[in-house]
């Protein structure tokens, strides 16, 4: 299971790359593996306001439909439009081309798990 050390993680299996008050968000390798073949990604609405820990989009796979939760509060300022026609990017490259959106933070940076804590969560 690939768990990049430079990212932050949520208990719901989203990853976050923070840079200058912007959080790039996606789902973890663990999450995409558990989902199976992804067949649809609800690309979030550009400009939408999201609340931390609330569902803001969903991913459909051959196994199930899963909510994706906002790991931070803020405004969606970029979306990965490629997912609309290539949802399999979540399976092929969850930490690269399979990113879902970018959220400009509202307020302070959130408290998220580092890679070691996420590894412990998966092991527990």
How much is the pLDDT for 80? Answer: 97
Is 49:104 a contact under the CB 8 Å cutoff?
no
The reply to whether 64 falls in a domain is yes
Instruction: Give the domain CATH number at 87.
Output: 2.40.50.100
The neighbour count for residue 117, using CB atoms within 10 Å, is 12
- Cα 29 to Cα 27: distance, rounded to the nearest angstrom: 7
The reply to whether 62 falls in a domain is yes
User: Mean pLDDT for each consecutive 10-residue tract of the chain (124 residues)?
Assistant: 95 95 96 96 95 94 94 96 96 97 87 95 93
How much is the pLDDT for 73? Answer: 95
How much is the pLDDT for 111? Answer: 86
Count: domains in the chain:
1
If we measure between CA atoms, which residue out of 45, 44, 46, 41 comes closest to residue 66?
A: 41
The reply to whether 120 falls in a domain is no
Q: Radius of gyration over alpha carbons of the chain, in Å?
A: 13
How much is the pLDDT for 69? Answer: 95
Range of the domain at 72: 8-109
How much is the pLDDT for 17? Answer: 96
Distances (CA, A) of 115 to 1, 54, 77, 81, 88: 12, 22, 25, 27, 24
How much is the pLDDT for 102? Answer: 98
The reply to whether 114 falls in a domain is no
């Amino acid at each position: 299971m690939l768990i990049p050390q430079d990212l932050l993680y949520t208990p719901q299996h989203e990853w976050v790359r923070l840079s200058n008050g912007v959080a790039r968000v996606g789902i973890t390798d663990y999450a995409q593996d558990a989902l199976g073949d992804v067949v649809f990604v609800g690309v979030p609405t550009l400009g939408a306001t999201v609340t931390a820990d609330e569902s803001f989009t969903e991913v459909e796979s051959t196994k199930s439909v899963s909510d994706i939760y906002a790991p931070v509060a803020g405004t969606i300022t970029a979306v990965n439009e490629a997912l609309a026609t290539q949802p399999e990017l979540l399976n092929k490259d969850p930490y690269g081309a399979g990113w879902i959106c970018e959220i400009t933070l509202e307020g302070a940076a959130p408290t998220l798990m580092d890679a070691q804590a996420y590894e412990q969560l998966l092991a527990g």
